[in-house]
Every structure is written in structure tokens, then in C-alpha cells.
Amino acid sequence: MQLGIRLHDMEKAPLEKRLQIAREQGFRCGHLALSKVISEYSVADSALTPGFACYLKHIFAKSELDVAVLGCYLNLANPNEESLKKNQARYLAHIRFASLLGAGVVGTETGAVNEAYQFEERNHSEEALQIFIKNLRPVIDYAEKMGVIFAIEPVFKHIVCNPKRARQVLDEIGSPNLQIIFDPVNLLDISNYQNREQIIKEAITILGDDIAVVHIKDFVVEDGKLDSVAAGTGEMDYSDVIRFMKEKKPYIHATLENTNPQNAETARAYIQGLWDNC
């Protein structure tokens, strides 16, 4: 695997410095969310020029790092038509940018049926899923034109909340440019985490062929809810996930989440140790 880090979890610094630190800590790739790591100049849609993409491509290459994920986590089920159109336009700008940057995927989660992007029971309805699929179609059409992989990340509280719903989206869209970011912890909730082994195995079985990137973090249970923490500091057993990656996904990008500058290297070493001993 090519183990990386979410760049906005690092020490606050210019992107060039973050890349230098990431490489020094032994990472091989990064999850890049433009607005979360760049504040000294514009990252608006109109700023995502070919020159900007080529500059970022150069500094990542200089640091010997891939852009594993170009993150653009906006709500494709926003009921406000004006906001939805802005979100879709932002996705198109990121897809165009990714085609020049050489990013592995443009990544997103799958939204909610309200403007606040919050959990409500209707997120898990068939109606919500069809709204998401309808609004996703033009984004995937553009990804196909630009030769870019667009990857959705199932999350329990969002519309695509489990492996079966993710499989339905893949099948209904029917595009090779639509793939999956697999984050095992994001499939879990206080209501189902004790069945995590079964949930993870189901995800690998029905989504495995379409998994493009793996996100790695851990969780703890506190005050009746799951809190995400750095890998190796909670209750997750990554044995099945590591085995899947090692057997089926050579050189896959796998990025750490929910680390901080103090524990990122330890989390990387923990996951690398699991890989080495698998």
C-alpha cells in the first residue's frame, strides 16, 4: 500500500511545508482538501486554473507524494436548488482540476436531504437515495469526459449509509469512473458497531472490486456515541481490511484520518506494522 495522511490533520503551515513534513514522517501520499489547507490565496472555482494545477503537481512530485484524494465534500442532495447548482459546479471545477493535477480520485461523501447536512431518518429512505443518484449523474458524466475517477464514501449518517446502498448507486450509475472510498469506521454507529466484523466483511465482498482508496482511522465509545480517533488508539481490528488490501489492491492509496501532529507517525507505524505482519 501507499500510506498517506489527510493534510489538514497536520500542523498548520503552508502546503509546501506540510508536504515536506509528510514526506519526512514516511508518508507516500496525501488527501488534499484545498480550502482546509490553503488560506493564503484563493481556491475558488475560478482560481482552479491549469497553472495552479501544474504548480501543485510540481510540489507534490518534488516531495515524492501522490495526491491520493482531491476532497470536495459537498451536499449533492441539498434541497435548495441554488445551493445544489453551486455544489455541482464546484464538483465540476474539482474534476477539471484533478485531470491536470493527476489526483487519484475526486472524493466525496453522500449528503443529506436538508441544507444543514445533518442526519435525519429520511436520509436512509429510498427517496433520498434516488435524489442523490439523480444529482450525481451530471457529475459522473463530466468525470467521464475528463477521464477522472470520482469516488463516493459511504457514511452511516449520510444517504449512502451501508454497503448495499453503495452497490445500488454503482449499479444504477453504471460508470467505470465512479468508485468507492472505503472507510470502515464511517460505516459504524452506536447502533451497529458491535457487528463491525460482519459489516466490514460485507463491504469488502460487495464493493471490493470498486474500492479505489481506503481511509484508516479508529474509534472509541464515549457518552453513548462513537468518536473517531487515530489508528491504533481505539477498538478497531484492521486485520480483514489489511488482508484485503494486501491480497487484492496492490499499491492502493490508504490515508490516515483523525490524527494530529503528535500521533501521526505512531499511527503510521502501527498500520505499517499490521501490513508487515499480515
Q: What is the pTM of this model?
A: 0.96
Contact assessment for residue 253 and residue 102, using Cβ atoms and an 8 Å cutoff: no
Q: In CATH, what number is assigned to the domain containing residue 127?
A: 3.20.20.150
User: Would you say residue 53 lies in a domain?
Assistant: yes
User: Would you say residue 175 lies in a domain?
Assistant: yes
User: Would you say residue 264 lies in a domain?
Assistant: no
Structural domain of 138: 12-217
Tens of pLDDT, residues 201-235: 999 999 999 999 999 999 999 999 999 999 999 99
Contact assessment for residue 36 and residue 8, using Cβ atoms and an 8 Å cutoff: yes
User: Would you say residue 112 lies in a domain?
Assistant: yes
pLDDT of residue 240: 95
Instruction: Read off the pLDDT of each residue in 252-267 and give the average, rounded to a whole number.
Output: 97
Burial class of residue 11, CB neighbours in 10 A (0-12, 13-18, 19+)? exposed
**CB under 8 Å to 68, separation ≥6 — which residues?**
2, 4, 29, 30, 31, 103, 104, 105, 213, 253, 255
Secondary structure of residue 212 in the 3-state scheme: strand
User: Would you say residue 49 lies in a domain?
Assistant: yes
pLDDT of residue 231: 98
Percent of the chain with pLDDT over 90: 100
Tens of pLDDT, residues 170-180: 999 999 999 99
Q: What are phi and psi of 226, to 5 degrees?
A: -90, 130
User: Would you say residue 257 lies in a domain?
Assistant: no
How many domains does one find in the chain?
1
Burial class of residue 96, CB neighbours in 10 A (0-12, 13-18, 19+)? buried
User: Would you say residue 55 lies in a domain?
Assistant: yes
User: Would you say residue 148 lies in a domain?
Assistant: yes
71 to 30, 94, 194, 237, 242: CA distances (angstroms): 10, 8, 30, 26, 23
| Residue 78: closest CA among 151, 128, 142, 150 | 128
Q: What are phi and psi of 179, to 5 degrees?
A: -135, -170
Instruction: Read off the pLDDT of each residue in 49-64 and give the average, rounded to a whole number.
Output: 98
pLDDT of residue 20: 97
Q: To which H or E segment does residue 182 belong?
A: strand 178-182
